[in-house]
Structure formats: C-alpha cells, structure tokens
Structure 1
C-alpha cells in the first residue's frame, strides 16, 4: 500500500495533467460524447500498454539510445496534433446538428505512438519504481506497474472525455459550442507548437540557419 501511494503521488499528476492526449479526449467528449469516444480511448491506451511492456521489460533502452528517433517521433507527433487542431477549428459541424466526425481507434494509435512525452513518462515510472516493485512483488513487479498504469490511464482518460461532454452540455447555444471548440483547438495547437519549438532537431536547424 505504501508503494502504491508513493507511485500514485508521482504518476497521477503526470497522467491527469492536460497533455496532448487529454486535450484530444476533451475535444472528442465535447463533440461526440463518451460512448463514441471509446474507440479513441482504446487506441491511445493500447499504445500506452505496449509502451509500458516495451520499456518495463528492457527493450526501452534501445529506444532511449536513439535520440534522433525520439526527436523525429516528437516532431511528427507535433505536426499531427497541429493537423487535428486545424481540423477541429475548421469544422463547422457541431454535436447539436447530430452528425459530426468521430476520432476513432486509428487516431488514438497515431496520437499516442507519436507522443514522445508518453515514452518519457513510462521511462520515468520504471526508472523510479522498478526496484521497489520487484522487492515488494518479486518477479511480478513489472507486471504490477504495467497494470497500475493501465488502470490509471483508462480511468483518467474517461474523466477527461466526461469533462468535455459535460462542458458541451452546459449550454445549447451554438456560439458557446463554437467558442468551446476554438478553446480546445487553440490549446492543442499551442501544445503542438510548443513541442515543435522545443524539439532538438528544430533548435539545431534554427541555430544553423
């Protein structure tokens, strides 16, 4: 229990903080509701589980030793997030009109595969807690951490989707809904631009020019 409390104290803020995936979840919840956002959630969290398995059982060191690969993934992911933000901003079809585009399983896969911050979060978890988990649970320590993270991710992602849906129900005004759409899209665009600007490949390119 003490290990779980310490683990939760570290991982909860990281999982619940408004990162790229959580903003996308809120956007999807506002657009299509919780039920139709489940495929998106399944895509994101499937990749998270795979990342946890890769890193937890040692293959993550191969990824960690290739900084160029990580930087390329981050750059591609940032561009994709910017594309999603522009798509949502340019969309004039609202939830009130009954027909709106749904982000699905494949979108969830792309969002999380190209999310380098997700890799770093998983690396951090296993760096901090692998030894303690194995002392507590023996050989099953890694599996326990993977299960804990999967449960935390799925539950927090449902909360973000629900928050988006709840905010979309506050008012039936199309002006309010359009403003909310711009807010989500703007947040996602800012995150994408920030990730692009801080990318080492971009920094190196700018310094050379």
Structure 2
C-alpha cells in the first residue's frame, strides 16, 4: 500500500507543483491577501477536488471526454472565469477596505476546480494509470486515490500560496502592490489563454 501511494505521489508531483490555473490563482491570492485569507478558497477548491475525483473514479463523470463538446464548453467557461479573476486582480488596489471586499471565498475555489478542464484531464490520466492498482475493493481504491490526489494538491497550493505571500510582503506599498497585482493578472490571463487554446 505504501509503495502504491509513493508511486502515485511521484506521478502527481510534477503535475501538482508546476504552474497551472490553481497554483497561479493561489500564489496571486497569497500575494494579495496572505495565506490565512486564502484558506476559504483553498478549502472550496479541495473539497471540489475530492468530490470530482471520487465521481470520476466511480465512473459517474466519465462523459467529460476531451473529444466532446461538453469538454470544449467547459474549457471556454474555465478560461473566461480565470480571465475574470485576472481582471479582478488587475483592477484591485492595495487599501485594506478594498482588499477585504475582494477576497476569494469557498465558492470561488470550488468554481476554479469545476471549470478547469485540465483538472479533468489529469484526473482521467491518473485513473488510467492507477485505477486498476491499489486496494482490491473499488470503493477503497477510489477513496485512496481521491484522498492522495487531493492532499497532494492541497500541499502544492499551500506552498504556492506561501510563496505568493512572501513575495507580497515585499510589495505592500500602494504603487508596488498595483505592480504586483498587474504582474499576477498578466500571469493569470496567460493561464486562461493557455486553457482556452490547449
């Protein structure tokens, strides 16, 4: 069992820790508001991750295939949502009242996962490689894979959030905060375009 988990984590490591929509969003959130303020959105993303991964593993979301119109629609919706997040980031200032009004919450995090077609591709790829391995009982196997996937992503996102927070601490003045926000907004917009065209 331990070997199975370690192999799964090894497979997931480059996927979870490399830049992507979730990592960039949480790095930007950490830079703008700090780690503590990002926790509701992080919780939303990872509750959604656990649910979606479990449903895919149980065969209930297998219709989201990269060759379907549903996948294309999801890709477009996800790209638009990330562009909207980039716009919010680009137009935010650094005053405390404004910052408090723009914090991302649980629903924002959940939507980021649900509207991220790359997440479905990774989940399907993971199950194609590991779906027949691990515990003999299907429910145990799906539960274990879903839990390992979710916890690995959670750790990666917390590290990206802390990195963003550390960067943000260097840019707390009004003008430098605006520059940092614009920089992260450009990165998020680039991720949105990558999602749309990928």
Same fold (TM over 0.5): yes
Q: For the residues of structure 1 that align with 2:103 and 2:119, how far apart are their CA atoms? A: 23
Structure 1 residue runs of 5 or longer lacking an equivalent are 199-209
Q: Using structure 2 for the length normalisation, give the TM-score.
A: 0.90
Q: For the residues of structure 2 that align with 1:124 and 1:179, how far apart are their CA atoms? A: 38
2:96 to 71, 95, 98: 98
Alignment of 1:113-128 (within 5 A): 113-128=114-129
Instruction: Show the counterpart of 1:34.
Output: 35
SS of equivalent to 2:103: coil
Instruction: Show the counterpart of 1:181.
Output: 181
Deviation sequence 1:49-103 (CA, Å, 0-9, x none): 11111111112323338711111011011011111111211112x1xx3230201
Q: For the residues of structure 2 that align with 1:46 and 1:62, how far apart are their CA atoms? A: 21
Instruction: Show the counterpart of 1:197.
Output: 197
Q: Using structure 1 for the length normalisation, give the TM-score.
A: 0.85
Asked if the contact 2:171/2:180 (under 8 Å) is kept, the reply is: no
Q: Give the 4+ runs in structure 1 shifted more than 6 A.
A: none
Deviation sequence 1:125-164 (CA, Å, 0-9, x none): 111011121xxx2212221111111211111111111111
Deviation sequence 1:12-53 (CA, Å, 0-9, x none): 111111111111101111111111111100111111111111
Alignment of 1:37-186 (within 5 A): 37-64=38-65, 67-92=68-93, 94=94, 97-99=95-97, 100=99, 101-133=102-134, 137-139=135-137, 140-186=140-186
* CA 91–65 in structure 1, closer or farther in 2 if over 3 Å, else same: closer
Across the two proteins, how many residue pairs are aligned to each other?
A: 192
- Between Structure 1 and Structure 2, whose CA radius of gyration is higher? 1
* CA 14–106 in structure 1, closer or farther in 2 if over 3 Å, else same: same
CA RMSD of superposed structures (Å): 1.6
- Greater Cα offset, 106-115 or 60-69: 60-69
Instruction: Show the counterpart of 1:13.
Output: 14
